[in-house]
């Protein structure tokens, strides 16, 4: 299942969710989902230096629920010194819990946007532990789309605002 978020005619994010029968034997995750992420450089920069502190951390030090598809390269993410959440309508987005399920209750886990390299080449792919029905995958795809659009519109889209202060002379 593919999800593409477009901003002003330019692709901001492309995510592919693929249910896999099995993963290679050397992967500790087991059955689950392969997630491929390709993002606009502005989105990676936002996670790296705007909400993050620019430091890279191996994902497996935080949580073992995600494993990169290339065993020669470990998954790395940008450090997030403070939790970053946002609520839009009836969906909450969270960029904090790396390596955890992508969707739980009304919260969409967008922490995969913190993965280093999502804006380079083909992006980043990883396995996500769990059992996923087609309905669950469709729901995840829709909720990730809504949450990512909200993130872009609220925090990344350029906005211009003016402030004008007028005074009126008072006669004494």
Residue ranges of domains in the chain: 2-156
Assign 27 a pLDDT band (cuts: 50, 70, 90): low
**H or E segment at 44?**
helix 41-45
- Strand 107-109 relative to strand 91-94, pairing: parallel
pLDDT at 7: 55
Mean per-residue pLDDT, 149-164: 88
Q: Which pLDDT tens digit goes with each residue over 49-75?
A: 999 999 999 998 888 888 888 878 889
Confidence (pLDDT) at 58: 93
- Report the C-alpha gap between 53 and 26 in whole angstroms: 32
Q: What is the mean pLDDT of the chain?
A: 85
E strands, 21-162, where? 32-39, 56-58, 66-68, 76-78, 85-88, 91-94, 103-104, 107-109, 124-129
Write down the pLDDT at residue 66: 87
- How far apart CA 22 and CA 50 sit, in angstroms, is 37
The pLDDT, as a whole number, for residue 5 is 55
Tell if the pTM clears 0.75, that is, is over it: yes
pLDDT for res 80: 93
Residues across the chain: 172
Tokens representing residue 27 in the block: 């992967």
Which residue, 129, 110, 134, is CA-closest to 51? 110
For the chain, the distance separating the N- and C-terminal CA atoms, rounded to the nearest angstrom, is 72
Q: Which of 81, 92, 78, 90 is nearest to 151 (CA)?
A: 92
pLDDT at 132 (0 to 100): 83
Q: Please report which helix (H) or strand (E) contains residue 42, including its range.
A: helix 41-45
- Out of 8-17, 19-28, 39-48, 129-138, the most confident range is 39-48
């Amino acid at each position: 299942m593919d999800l593409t978020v477009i901003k002003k005619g330019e692709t901001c994010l492309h995510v592919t969710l693929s249910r896999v029968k099995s993963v290679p034997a050397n992967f500790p995750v087991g059955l689950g989902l392969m997630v491929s992420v390709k993002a606009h450089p502005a989105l990676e920069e936002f996670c790296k230096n705007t909400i993050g502190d620019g430091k890279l951390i191996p994902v497996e030090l935080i949580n073992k629920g995600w494993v990169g598809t290339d065993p020669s390269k470990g998954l790395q993410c940008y450090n997030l010194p403070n939790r970053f959440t946002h609520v839009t309508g009836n969906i909450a987005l969270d960029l904090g819990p790396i390596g955890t399920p992508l969707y739980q209750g009304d919260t969409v886990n967008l922490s995969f946007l913190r993965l280093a390299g999502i804006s380079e080449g083909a992006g980043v792919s990883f396995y996500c532990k769990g059992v996923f029905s087609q309905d669950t995958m469709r729901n995840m795809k829709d909720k990730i789309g809504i949450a990512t659009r909200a993130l872009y519109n609220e925090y990344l889209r350029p906005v211009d605002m003016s402030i004008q202060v007028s005074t009126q002379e008072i006669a004494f």
